[in-house]
Amino acid sequence: MDQGLKGALGLTGPEACLAYYRDWAANYDSGFASEMQYLLPAHVAATYMATGAGGPVLDVGAGTGLLAQALRDMGFRPDIDAADFSAEMLERAAQKNIYAGTFRVDITQPIDLPRRYAGLVSSGTFTAGHVGPEALPHLLAIALPQAQFALSINRRVWQARGFDVALDDLARQARITDLQLIEVEVYGAAAARIDADHAADRALIALFRAA
């Protein structure tokens, strides 16, 4: 099985995405994340930490748990839950013993979790072949008032999938406040040797608060 970044970014729907991550879960950390020097989870974690927000936190599209691991490495102690629709990715995440709970959910649909989160963080889930802005209202529905969001959105899909318009609309409707965008590199220098097409990818970390 030859799973990798190129295939992941070309996924065309939820069924294809689920099948892809079923096979990618086993070597996602040791292959993709390590070889591409995947910096994005640490960037999102540092950005969330800098807000001073607490927990409980939901890691959205948690995958194998790299973002929660980065938060823990930075000293974040409150509960973190993982939400992802891939059972195989969640199984890897659970093995790391960093999550209070792991939940199999499709974030493009209404999410069957209580409104209990003071923070919602995400790295790598809002990208090509993955999830668009249709998930944002579902995430707001499980966020406490004033909950802090830190969501990475790949530059390639920022306008192409309408994240710019969706976030502006939510701000105009006063459903979110304090919107800030922080641009970061997705990968480190080592990525150029592995995948020249994506090595220079950048993401915007959308920081905002639920109303």
Q: Which of 17, 36, 70, 98 binds ligand SAM (CB under 6 A)?
A: 17
| CA-derived radius of gyration, the chain | 16
Residue 123 touches ligand SAM, criterion: CB under 6 A: yes
Q: Which of 3, 21, 53, 57 binds ligand SAM (CB under 6 A)?
A: 21
Nearest distance from residue 137's CB to ligand SAM, in Å?
Answer: 14
**DSSP per residue, 88-100:** HHHHHHHHTT--S
Cβ distance to ligand SAM smaller for residue 37 or 211: 37
Residue 130 touches ligand SAM, criterion: CB under 6 A: yes
Residue 69 touches ligand SAM, criterion: CB under 6 A: no
Strand partners, 122: 151
Residues 32-51, one symbol each (x = binds ligand SAM by CB under 6 A, - = not), give --------xx----------
Q: Cα–Cα distances in Å, from 71 out to 15, 86, 151, 187?
A: 30, 22, 14, 18
Q: Taking a C-beta distance cutoff of 8 angstroms, is the pair 201, 155 a contact?
A: yes
Residue 176, exposed/middle/buried by CB under 10 A (0-12, 13-18, 19+)? buried
Question: Which residues of the shown chain bind ligand SAM in the complex (CB under 6 A)?
Answer: 14, 17, 21, 40-41, 61-63, 66-67, 84-86, 89, 106-108, 123-125, 130-131
